[in-house]
Structure 1
Amino acid sequence: MRPLISTTDLAAALAGPAGDRPVVLDVRWRLAGPPGADSYREGHVPGAVFADLDRMLAAEPGDGGRHPLPDPADLERDLRAAGVRTGVPVVAYDDADGSVAARAWWLLRWAGHAEVAVLDGGYAAWTAEGRPVSTEQPDPEPGDLTVRPGAMPVLDADEAAALARDGLLLDARAAQRYTGETEPVDPRPGHIPGAVNAPFAGHNREDGHWRTPEQLAARFEELGLRPGEPVGAYCGSGVTASSVVLALELAGHPGAGLYAGSWSHWSRDPGRPAATGTLPG
């Protein structure tokens, strides 16, 4: 399954036979609120199940960072409760920059479920086109998915540091956080030495939609990525970096590593170095 699905194709799939319809996950979330669950109750894609980033797509914040990977058993339970079944496609959407939907895409792929896509344009595109919305909260038939973690590469701190030295490690945060000019969330400012700043915002999407594979490939080439070179990504807590992994796959570079703990994990250890300024360091 392609990593992206259009609103037209999703509408057609939802209008098809019940047994062939994808499971749709509404993963709207905002760091500063309001809660995505409130938006979901006000209206969502018909049949969509709400999946909370903090409770389903991540474990409790702690030593592993602000959005560490969930325990596989917990993830399996929650995905089954949402109706996710083996062999049945899943579509995720948000109403912001696509990064939370990309986290859901990456997490399902990591869990071994290959049939998953992000709705291109998200909820904004769906409603802008006048497509139907619903306030009804479905009670899905329990799914049967077995979570088998490890289908997508995960980097720990040492592996991220090595990739920054020997390959290409992309920092998806805004430039001001990369340089250390500001750090509004995590313990200390800066970036992993050797990492290259690749802000997601304003670069991988245009007018609410993902850029073409050719455009994305050109951007990553400008950032220094060479064919066959190992590449990975991190951000503040492993959410926005998931969108960089998705963009890399769209650009023809599948299998990029994700430093799931990201800067929220790295910066907790004062023994890990932090570079500042515009250069990788």
Structure 2
Amino acid sequence: MTGPLISAEELAGLLGEVTLLDVRYEMGAQGGPPRHADFVAGHLPGARYVDLDTDLAAPPGEEGRHPLPEPDDFQAAMRRLGVTASRPVVVYDDWQGRAAARAWWLLRYHGHTDVRVLDGGLTAWREAGGELERGLPARVDVPAADSDPDAFVVDPSSQHLPVVRAQDVASVRVLVDARAAARYRGEVEPVDPVAGHIPGAVNLPTERNRDDSGRFRTPEELARLYAGVGAVPGVWVAAYCGSGVTATHDVLAMELAGIPAALFPGGWSGWITDPARPVE
């Protein structure tokens, strides 16, 4: 497979040949409640449910509400879900790709080379006439020994996808805040204890990456959109959000537009854990 996105029509022809991960999630004041019941009620055939809070994040702490998982923990979770080194992975959700992008980013960052997001998610699958499967999937056996050539062995590296840490944020040329405009301006803050944004950041809410159908805009449209805030090829760009989840949607959108972008995984919730850091 090529490119970070896959259409429902293309995916329909690849069922059984890819590892499908269902990353449905709901944002809430204390994180999203697990969506496993919704998964059991209906999911893409062969998919396995990913709990974002436990499979795609470490416990909350100084690095924010959704710190990057420990590599060994992420490796164990992905192997449990059937991920191997050679088999393509497709991730989807019902949140316009926000949660699925987190899984895409983590798999890519940890060295998996063939990961795509279902463009339009569960809605696009249904609109294309795709059937849903009910119940729990059968147990899957995947290589568990690191020495097995098909075992998924994590190799977290900024050479795969770049990361920016809090101490380096000030040197980023264009820092994109992916949160809603009112949160960026500090008018409301429904989740974190401090309102505002990182000084110098520009705002481009994640929702602007998609069109009215819930699918990603074209690469040309995305390139124009990000150029409007100074994010263009050749400039050091990074994105952040509340806790490092929806900002991965912006990183994916910029990849579509040909703009390499780093992720600040701690996000706003991690930034404000140190009261010495400035707030605008």
Aligned to 2:4: 3
Spell out, residue by residue over 1:112-146, the C-alpha distance to the aligned partner (whole angstroms, 9 max, x if none).
00100000010111112221110132222224200
1:25 to 21, 25, 28: 21
Three-state SS of the structure 1 residue aligned to 2:125 is helix
Aligned length in residues? 265
| TM-score between both structures, scaled by the size of structure 2 | 0.92
2:224 is aligned with 1:218? yes
Distance 2:96 2:10 in 1: 20
Q: Which residue of 1 aligns with 2:56?
A: 57
Cα shift at 1:208: 1.0
SS of the residue 2:176 aligns to:
strand
Q: Please state how far the C-alpha of 1:38 moved relative to its aligned partner.
A: 1.4
Query: Corresponding residue for 2:34?
Result: 35
Secondary structure at 1:209 match in 2: coil
In the alignment, structure 1 residue 161 sits paired with structure 2 residue 170: yes
Q: What is the alpha-carbon distance in structure 1 between the residues aligned to residue 274 and residue 152 of structure 2? A: 36
Residue of structure 2 equivalent to 1:94: 93
Between the aligned partners of 1:159 and 1:50, the Cα distance in structure 2 is: 35
Q: Deviation of residue 103 (structure 1)? A: 0.5
Partners of 2:225 and 2:140 in 1: CA distance: 41
**Matches of 1:77 and 1:186 in 2, distance apart?**
30
8 Å CA contact 1:187, 1:268 repeated in 2: no
Contact kept in structure 2, 1:83 and 1:140, CA below 8 Å:
yes
CA deviation map 1:65-91 (0-9, x unaligned): 100000000110110111111121100
Superposed CA RMSD in Å reads 1.1
Deviations 1:214-261 (A, max 9, x none): 00001011111233011000000000100000000000113x110001
State the shift of 1:184 in Å. Answer: 1.3
% same residue: 51
Task: Give the partner amino acid of 2:14.
Answer: A
User: Which AA in structure 1 matches 2:119?
Assistant: D
Secondary structure, counterpart of 1:2 in structure 2 = coil
Match of 1:267 in 2: 272
Please state how far the C-alpha of 1:153 moved relative to its aligned partner. Answer: 1.2
Which whole-Å CA distance do the structure 1 matches of 2:231 and 2:20 have between them? 34
Q: Following superposition of structure 1 onto structure 2, how do residues 161-240 of structure 1 map, counting pairs within 5 Å?
A: 161-163=170-172, 167-201=173-207, 203-206=208-211, 207-240=213-246
| Structure 1: gaps of 5 or more residues | 276-281
Normalised TM-score (structure 1): 0.92
2:237 partner letter:
V
1:78-157 equivalent positions in 2, closer than 5 A: 78-138=77-137, 139-143=139-143, 144-150=151-157, 151-157=160-166
For 1:269 and 1:257, the matched residues in 2 are separated by: 22
C-alpha deviation, 1:147, in angstroms: 0.5
Are the aligned partners of 2:19 and 2:47 in contact in 1 as well (CA < 8 Å)? yes
Residue 152 of structure 1 deviates from its aligned partner by 1.4
SS in 2 for 1:210: coil
Letter of the structure 1 residue corresponding to residue 195 of structure 2? P
Shift of 1:34: 5.5
